[in-house]
Amino acid sequence: MNELLKLEPRELWKHFHSLTCTPRPSGHEAQVRKFVSGVGKERGLETIVDDAGNVIIRKPATPGLENRKGVILQAHLDMVPQKNSDSEHDFTRDPIATTIENGWVKAVGTTLGADNGIGVAAALAVLESETIEHGPIEALFTANEEAGMTGALGLRPGTLKGTILMNLDSEDEGELFIGCAGGMDAIATFDCGRSPLPSGYAGLKIAVTGLKGGHSGMDIDLGRGNANKIMNRLLLDSEPDYGVLLSSIEGGSLRNAIPRESFAHVAVPENRTQEFLDSLNVIADAIRREFAVADPGLHIEAVNAEPPDSVIDPEVADRLFKAIQACPNGVMRMSTEMDGLVETSNNLAMVKTGEKRIVVECLLRSSVNSAREDLQSMIGSLFALAGATICFEGGYPGWKPDQASPILKVMRETYASKFGNWPEVRAVHAGLECGIIGGKYPGLDMISFGPTIRHPHSPGEKVEIASVGRFWEFLTATLAAVPVKESDE
């Protein structure tokens, strides 16, 4: 028997185990959609798959509780596909290999998918249960949250019937989230002329690896290294000082993950190769010292390689390096309204070179729309001055905190009664789907909560087993405590 199937609550872990066996990276959700829909259909519940790929399953109230407010349990189907560079895992085909260490469930060399698989599993367990007391339930499983929130964006007004939305996608048990940041993708494209490599050059491959990475919202304030920024520092002065020619850079793989790795293929004049390596080692040592506490696993290496067939126009490479150097990354501003909350940030997420273009992608976040617009203008101006074409897309709204939320009051009192202490009330610097769904359903009373998950969006992702048990107890107790509809009071 798999270790997960022995954990309590078994009804939740059973479904999470099934999810680890079901490939579900963003954009490849057909199998998980079939699995989730099957749970609803097997129970004889109304099950809908909408045009955006969302699954909606409705369960009637426990007899006698038909007059309670309708609750929407919301979680997303997809997971972030991140793995270590030495892993051969195929997220579109292979099951996630899990292990248990010191009270935590982890994956082996890949992301675990607890974000948001635990939320999906909890909702499925509620749908399947014959003992949990609750009013009318709708389970909303949204598509493609991690790669653009297209499921939430495609949700049609009028589809949902409930008046309370419980988003099961937060990552700190004992905390209730009542607000989140909005976001916007910035995509800068440089046209790069290529030419054959002149004679007299040696090839080198430079690798930046070993960084923790993490969620570009939740972890952006932890001071971790950004592989794209580090690689750029290594190359910035090399082109004019040592005649280094750039062939390719591949850094980062997801817009909402702090980039953990970057790889560059360069050409160096044969008679200056050792000078360049000596200089690079000096810079690398300084960078390693900077991140000795926040990212002690940072590894920087340059090794001999075949000379590249072609190189990018040095003038374009110079503009690219200077633009990345100037591009803001990390926390831009902390909130003045809620202690400890990041208000505005930027994640310089990806740098990718092709035959004709170099693409730099950033994810901008802010809980203040005007601040996000100002950051958007800043980054747009920067890349325009560097000669790139810049576009912005995939924008989604934030979720303004409501301290007077009725469900917040119910859940605070329920948590205190059950566990003997009050939960913290916070907002989060991440793009929860609540902002989008709330925009389509004005007046929806929303809250987000979940178990304790650490290092989401990275192969270090893990979920605390004990916190899953408390999360489940809290969820089921809350469902029993949902108040009656105003019209029935």
Q: Per residue in 380-402, pLDDT tens? A: 999 999 999 999 998 888 888 88
One of 29, 115, 138, 145 is an active-site residue; which one? Answer: 145
Looking at 29, 78, 173, 239, which residue is catalytic?
78
- Predicted pLDDT of residue 430: 86
**Domains in the chain with CATH codes:** 3-180+399-488 (3.40.630.10), 184-396 (3.30.70.360)
> Residue 488 has what pLDDT?
47
The stretch 95-112 carries a mean pLDDT of 97
- Furthest-apart CA atoms within the chain: distance in Å: 85
Q: What percentage of the chain exceeds 70 in pLDDT?
A: 99
Tokens 């895992």 map to which residue? 89
pLDDT of residue 432: 87
Note the pLDDT tens digit of each residue in 189-242. 999 989 999 999 999 999 999 999 999 998 999 999 999 999 999 999 776 789
pLDDT the model gives residue 240: 77
Least confident of 230-244, 307-321, 463-477: 230-244
Is 115 known to be catalytic?
no
Report the 10 Å Cβ neighbour count for 246: 25
Q: Is 78 a catalytic residue?
A: yes
Cα(409)–Cα(404) distance, integer angstroms:
8
